[in-house]
Copies of this chain bind each other. A is one copy, B any other.
Protein backbone atom coordinates (compact mmCIF):
# COMPACT_ATOMS: atom_id res chain seq x y z
CA UNK A 1 0.00 0.00 0.00
CA UNK A 2 0.92 3.68 -0.16
CA UNK A 3 1.36 4.26 3.57
CA UNK A 4 4.71 3.65 5.20
CA UNK A 5 4.13 4.01 8.98
CA UNK A 6 6.64 6.20 10.79
CA UNK A 7 7.68 4.20 13.85
CA UNK A 8 10.33 6.74 14.65
CA UNK A 9 7.98 9.25 16.21
CA UNK A 10 6.49 6.60 18.43
CA UNK A 11 9.92 5.51 19.64
CA UNK A 12 11.11 9.06 20.08
CA UNK A 13 8.17 10.30 22.12
CA UNK A 14 7.08 7.13 23.87
CA UNK A 15 3.52 7.87 22.74
CA UNK A 16 1.28 5.49 20.72
CA UNK A 17 0.78 5.61 16.95
CA UNK A 18 -2.18 7.71 15.84
CA UNK A 19 -4.30 7.44 12.71
CA UNK A 20 -6.04 10.54 11.38
CA UNK A 21 -9.10 8.93 9.76
CA UNK A 22 -10.77 11.99 8.22
CA UNK A 23 -10.80 11.70 4.43
CA UNK A 24 -9.69 8.08 4.47
CA UNK A 25 -11.93 5.22 3.32
CA UNK A 26 -13.09 2.59 5.82
CA UNK A 27 -10.80 0.18 4.05
CA UNK A 28 -7.77 2.47 4.37
CA UNK A 29 -8.41 3.13 8.08
CA UNK A 30 -8.87 -0.57 8.75
CA UNK A 31 -5.62 -1.49 7.03
CA UNK A 32 -3.50 1.04 8.89
CA UNK A 33 -5.14 0.11 12.20
CA UNK A 34 -4.44 -3.55 11.57
CA UNK A 35 -0.82 -2.90 10.63
CA UNK A 36 -0.23 -0.96 13.86
CA UNK A 37 -2.19 -3.38 16.07
CA UNK A 38 -0.17 -6.32 14.77
CA UNK A 39 3.05 -4.67 15.88
CA UNK A 40 1.78 -4.72 19.48
CA UNK A 41 1.81 -0.99 20.26
CA UNK A 42 -1.09 1.08 21.63
CA UNK A 43 -3.21 2.46 18.78
CA UNK A 44 -5.45 5.51 18.55
CA UNK A 45 -7.61 6.59 15.60
CA UNK A 46 -9.26 10.03 15.57
CA UNK A 47 -12.08 11.53 13.45
CA UNK A 48 -13.43 8.03 12.83
CA UNK A 49 -16.83 7.85 11.11
CA UNK A 50 -19.42 5.44 12.52
CA UNK A 51 -18.92 2.94 9.70
CA UNK A 52 -15.15 2.77 10.07
CA UNK A 53 -15.48 2.49 13.85
CA UNK A 54 -17.82 -0.50 13.49
CA UNK A 55 -15.40 -2.16 11.07
CA UNK A 56 -12.48 -1.74 13.46
CA UNK A 57 -14.44 -3.05 16.45
CA UNK A 58 -15.59 -6.10 14.50
CA UNK A 59 -11.94 -6.95 13.91
CA UNK A 60 -10.52 -5.74 17.26
CA UNK A 61 -13.15 -6.47 19.93
CA UNK A 62 -10.99 -5.10 22.71
CA UNK A 63 -10.77 -1.67 21.07
CA UNK A 64 -12.85 1.15 22.55
CA UNK A 65 -15.09 3.45 20.53
CA UNK A 66 -15.92 6.90 21.95
CA UNK A 67 -18.84 8.17 19.89
CA UNK A 68 -18.75 11.79 20.98
CA UNK A 69 -14.97 12.01 20.59
CA UNK A 70 -15.07 10.12 17.26
CA UNK A 71 -12.12 8.01 18.41
CA UNK A 72 -11.25 4.32 18.49
CA UNK A 73 -8.42 3.28 20.80
CA UNK A 74 -6.61 0.07 21.60
CA UNK A 75 -4.68 0.11 24.85
CA UNK A 76 -2.54 -2.84 25.92
CA UNK A 77 -0.09 -1.40 28.40
CA UNK A 78 -1.44 -1.74 31.94
CA UNK A 79 0.91 0.80 33.46
CA UNK A 80 -0.27 3.25 36.14
CA UNK A 81 -1.54 6.67 34.95
CA UNK A 82 1.10 9.39 34.89
CA UNK A 83 0.34 13.13 35.14
CA UNK A 84 -2.92 15.03 35.71
CA UNK A 85 -4.64 16.95 32.93
CA UNK A 86 -7.77 19.05 33.38
CA UNK A 87 -9.97 19.47 30.28
CA UNK A 88 -12.22 22.53 30.52
CA UNK A 89 -15.08 23.74 28.29
CA UNK A 90 -18.32 25.70 28.43
CA UNK A 91 -20.85 23.11 27.43
CA UNK A 92 -22.78 21.09 24.91
CA UNK A 93 -21.34 22.38 21.65
CA UNK A 94 -17.66 22.16 22.59
CA UNK A 95 -17.99 18.60 23.89
CA UNK A 96 -16.76 16.72 20.78
CA UNK A 97 -13.48 18.63 20.78
CA UNK A 98 -13.09 18.39 24.55
CA UNK A 99 -13.73 14.65 24.41
CA UNK A 100 -11.20 14.19 21.56
CA UNK A 101 -8.68 15.79 23.90
CA UNK A 102 -9.75 13.85 26.99
CA UNK A 103 -9.82 10.44 25.31
CA UNK A 104 -6.50 11.06 23.56
CA UNK A 105 -4.86 11.99 26.87
CA UNK A 106 -6.32 8.92 28.58
CA UNK A 107 -5.16 6.64 25.76
CA UNK A 108 -1.71 8.19 26.18
CA UNK A 109 -1.77 7.25 29.89
CA UNK A 110 -2.68 10.49 31.66
CA UNK A 111 -5.21 11.03 34.45
CA UNK A 112 -7.96 13.34 33.12
CA UNK A 113 -10.40 15.57 35.02
CA UNK A 114 -13.33 16.85 32.94
CA UNK A 115 -14.69 20.31 33.88
CA UNK A 116 -17.37 20.78 31.23
CA UNK A 117 -19.86 23.36 32.39
CA UNK A 118 -17.94 26.55 33.04
CA UNK A 119 -18.03 29.74 30.96
CA UNK A 120 -16.81 33.33 31.07
CA UNK A 121 -20.32 34.79 31.29
CA UNK A 122 -20.90 33.04 34.63
CA UNK A 123 -17.55 33.30 36.31
CA UNK A 124 -18.78 31.89 39.63
CA UNK A 125 -19.00 28.44 38.04
CA UNK A 126 -15.34 28.62 37.20
CA UNK A 127 -14.39 29.73 40.70
CA UNK A 128 -16.39 26.77 42.03
CA UNK A 129 -14.01 24.29 40.37
CA UNK A 130 -10.82 26.09 41.30
CA UNK A 131 -9.53 23.32 43.52
CA UNK A 132 -9.77 20.80 40.70
CA UNK A 133 -7.92 23.20 38.40
CA UNK A 134 -5.14 23.59 40.95
CA UNK A 135 -4.58 19.82 41.00
CA UNK A 136 -3.67 19.65 37.30
CA UNK A 137 -0.14 19.60 35.82
CA UNK A 138 -1.50 21.24 32.70
CA UNK A 139 -4.94 22.49 31.63
CA UNK A 140 -6.58 22.12 28.20
CA UNK A 141 -9.30 24.70 27.55
CA UNK A 142 -11.68 24.28 24.58
CA UNK A 143 -13.83 27.28 23.63
CA UNK A 144 -15.69 28.65 20.62
CA UNK A 145 -17.35 32.02 19.96
CA UNK A 146 -15.15 34.70 21.62
CA UNK A 147 -12.65 32.14 22.97
CA UNK A 148 -12.15 34.01 26.23
CA UNK A 149 -12.12 31.07 28.63
CA UNK A 150 -8.35 30.26 28.40
CA UNK A 151 -7.46 33.78 29.54
CA UNK A 152 -9.61 33.55 32.63
CA UNK A 153 -8.42 30.02 33.43
CA UNK A 154 -4.82 31.07 32.72
CA UNK A 155 -5.11 33.78 35.34
CA UNK A 156 -6.30 31.29 37.95
CA UNK A 157 -3.66 28.56 37.60
CA UNK A 158 0.16 28.37 37.85
CA UNK A 159 0.68 25.76 35.11
CA UNK A 160 0.64 25.80 31.28
CA UNK A 161 -2.75 26.21 29.58
CA UNK A 162 -3.24 24.79 26.08
CA UNK A 163 -6.08 26.57 24.31
CA UNK A 164 -8.16 24.80 21.64
CA UNK A 165 -10.42 27.09 19.60
CA UNK A 166 -13.58 25.28 18.49
CA UNK A 167 -15.60 25.90 15.35
CA UNK A 168 -18.67 26.57 17.50
CA UNK A 169 -20.70 29.73 16.84
CA UNK A 170 -22.23 31.54 13.87
CA UNK A 171 -21.85 34.76 11.91
CA UNK A 172 -18.63 36.55 12.85
CA UNK A 173 -17.27 33.48 14.66
CA UNK A 174 -15.97 32.42 11.22
CA UNK A 175 -15.76 28.72 11.98
CA UNK A 176 -13.47 29.18 14.97
CA UNK A 177 -11.20 31.94 13.66
CA UNK A 178 -12.47 34.50 16.17
CA UNK A 179 -11.81 32.10 19.05
CA UNK A 180 -8.37 31.30 17.62
CA UNK A 181 -7.41 34.97 17.36
CA UNK A 182 -8.69 35.70 20.84
CA UNK A 183 -6.58 32.90 22.29
CA UNK A 184 -3.43 34.03 20.46
CA UNK A 185 -3.92 37.46 22.02
CA UNK A 186 -4.49 36.08 25.50
CA UNK A 187 -3.31 38.41 28.25
CA UNK A 188 -2.40 35.33 30.32
CA UNK A 189 1.21 34.49 29.40
CA UNK A 190 0.89 30.79 30.19
CA UNK A 191 -1.46 30.20 27.24
CA UNK A 192 -0.32 28.52 24.00
CA UNK A 193 -2.63 27.61 21.15
CA UNK A 194 -3.31 24.81 18.65
CA UNK A 195 -5.38 24.66 15.45
CA UNK A 196 -9.17 24.99 15.47
CA UNK A 197 -10.87 21.80 16.78
CA UNK A 198 -7.47 20.14 17.32
CA UNK A 199 -8.23 18.38 20.60
CA UNK A 200 -5.78 15.67 19.61
CA UNK A 201 -2.80 17.99 19.27
CA UNK A 202 -3.57 19.70 22.57
CA UNK A 203 -3.69 16.35 24.36
CA UNK A 204 -0.49 15.15 22.68
CA UNK A 205 1.51 18.11 23.99
CA UNK A 206 -0.32 18.12 27.34
CA UNK A 207 0.63 14.49 27.91
CA UNK A 208 4.28 15.32 27.30
CA UNK A 209 4.08 18.16 29.82
CA UNK A 210 2.16 16.18 32.42
CA UNK A 211 4.61 13.28 32.23
CA UNK A 212 7.50 15.62 32.87
CA UNK A 213 5.64 16.88 35.92
CA UNK A 214 5.45 13.31 37.20
CA UNK A 215 9.09 12.42 36.66
A binding-site residues for B, Cβ under 8 Å: 2-4, 6, 8-9, 12-14, 18, 22-24, 28, 90-93, 95, 116-117, 119-127, 137, 145-148, 151-152, 154-160, 162, 165, 167-198, 200-202, 204-205, 208-209, 212-213, 215
Contact = CB atoms under 8 A, between A and B. Distances in A.
A165 B170 CA distance: 12
A181 B18 CA distance: 23
Given A2-B117, A195-B170, A213-B215, A181 B184 contact: no
Contact of A148 (B146, B180, B193): B146
B189 A184 contact: no
Contacts of A125: 4, 6
Nearest to A11: B158
Contacts of A208: 158-160, 190
A95 B160 contact: no
A156 to B, nearest CB: 7
A86 to B, nearest CB: 15
Given A92-B24, A181-B181, A196-B172, A189 B201 contact: yes
A125 B9 CA distance: 12
Contact of A171 (B124, B160, B167): B167
A154 B169 CA distance: 18
Contact of A124 (B8, B90, B165, B212): B8
A168 B24 CA distance: 12
B205 A190 contact: yes
15 contacts: A14-B158, A23-B93, A120-B152, A120-B187, A121-B151, A121-B155, A137-B212, A159-B208, A171-B176, A172-B185, A173-B185, A173-B195, A180-B184, A184-B195, A209-B209
